[in-house]
Structure 1
Amino acid sequence: MIFTDSVPVTGVRRTEDGYLVAEARVARTGIQDYLGTEIDPDNEHGLRDKPIVRVYRPESAVFHADAMHSYAYRPMTNGHPGGDGVNSKNWKDVAIGQTGGEVVRDGQFVKVPLVLMDAKAIADYESGKRELSMGYGAEVVFQDGVTGDGEQYDCYLGPMKMNHLSLEHRARGGIDLRIGDHNPNTPKGGHDMADALRKLLVDGISIDVTEQGAQAIEKLSTKLADAATATKNLTDAHATAIALKDGELAQKDAEIDALKGKQLSDADIDKRVTARADLISKAKSIADADYTGKTDAEIRKAVVIAKLGDAAVTGKADAYIDARFEILVEDAAKDPVRQHFQAQDGKQKNPNDNGQSAYEARLNDAWKGETK
């Protein structure tokens, strides 16, 4: 967890190359106030909804040997970078200077030399942005108690490990020393309350909050906005998927209706069987052949070819061939001799017909000769 602290700046000077060099108190013992959401974001210790959590930093946390080493050569930033602080991946983007290596205890403070090397940060400092806030990590021990000075606290810190030092307008720990005028009414080690607050518009309501409170609210507002955007994206994607499914179902329903329209009723089947039998009967009356497996058009064409030859159908449309077939059917219906023999085709032949079959065959041959 990264915490922030605040200290005053003193002994400032400019170098020939434009850098700003100073000595600064960068940490102090005592109690500092945090929001419950900062200290206990998951409410594991029942402090998340508490407006103010008093965090005690004893001497064992501030002046621990490991802590003292960690104050040296820390990168400086113009405002806290957020996240996990400063590291090798973002140092080039956020660093504006650094602390020096001469770390000393100054009463209840830790003092280090520092240098601002970035022109924008130096301009901000000269415009009044003069407080420092330490970014550090530490174990939080959730145990309330009372300091040696009689101040109550809700939890305390273990040894601190510094990450970076940030230039701020208003930082958490307040000021003891400051370049310029000092408000005599400012409490020791802190800011005047009205001076430390900033106005923030939340859901149309203007409220006064600390800088850290404003940062927490803005962070939560960003998360809420991101969550709302993600929810909308999911809702839109779901609606699109449903619309696609509805389209697919509608297409399937249309295909089913089309298949139903193509399905024949029993009456339709009877009509087709009757028509087919009638067509084959007509075809056989003209040219007796096996018409199994042929379509109606193929049967008509085969009959016309059998009767009139290939030349009668070559290059002709189906309508023409159908018309020639109907003419042949009408002509066959007008030939009584042919009708007689066709009627005899279905009768049982008698092998003892005393020459009747031979006689009928001769008559049939004679008829064929006359029709050619």
Structure 2
Amino acid sequence: MLLHDSVAVSGVRRTSDGYLVAEARVARTGIQDYLGSELGKPEIPIISVYRPPEAVFAEDAMRSYAYRPMTNDHHGDVNSDNWKELAVGQTGAEVLRDGDFVRIPLVLMDADAIRDYEAGKRELSMGLEAEVFFEDGVTPQGEKYQARLGSMRMNHLALVDRARGGEHLRIGDNKQPTPTGGHDMADALRKLLVDGLTIEVTEQGAQAIEKLNGKLADAATATKALSDAHATAIALKDGELAKKDATIDDLKAKLLSDADIDKRVTARADLISKAKSIADADYTGKTDADIRKAVVIAKLGDAAVAGKSSDYVDARFEILVEDAAKDPVRQHFQAQDGKQKNPNDNGQSAYEARLNDAWKGETK
């Protein structure tokens, strides 16, 4: 993994050739903070990374600090293919341990880079490759960390305006480093407007706040989308309820009055009576049209209605009703329907009537 550090520059001087020569502390032990996105963990805002002495001062690591190309800003991995294009100087060979630091000499040889340095571009950011082990732990000094560096190898050393926390970790500037090897934080503060208040925070803090503000903005957008969707759903429901209310009002308008119900009951009873006068059957549950059709079929057969319209069937039914009304036998039986009958008479009344008539004849 390629990481970027910022380091302190000291002992600066110009040579007779115009080169800028200095010494720099390029690495140190201890805790340094990185953005989670810088270490492939974008879900974690800040990760405290521990550099143990065995990683910083390992023999392979110390050798890698020497003869490294210097660049004006970072340009990714520097190698033999792009060295001629990118290099503006290099580190020296005298790699020394300085307490918790590694100190090396360096030289800037490019005139533009030297002019940038003299104009105030005075921080150095070390590009290095390192193994990162994500693990919770505590340093010998009692500081907690969430990741630890393994073997390290410097790739290049870049001249930068300001090593931003998160993308470029600060561990020094052109001033003398603090006893802990850290940064003079007054130079590293940024001003932010938060909820109407101006505050000063580190670059890491600023990036964390900006990231949180971005999440808040996303959350606000998502909330508005949900609110709009809810409003749309409510509007649809209101439309459906309005349609149901209209349907109910329409049904209410179609409700029958008592007089209408009486008329329909009378008409239904009259139809069933006519039907039974032609073909006595059970017409329960049948519509008026079905009753007429059933009567015509019962009287005339299926052929009488095959392919015929409902108006034709209704007309045939009415003709059958008229014919039934003209049948004298049927009329006699219908006339008898209203007279009282004695089912237990067994012809006794007729017999008594004949006797009575015979007696009347003898007395004449």
Structure 1 length-normalised TM: 0.48
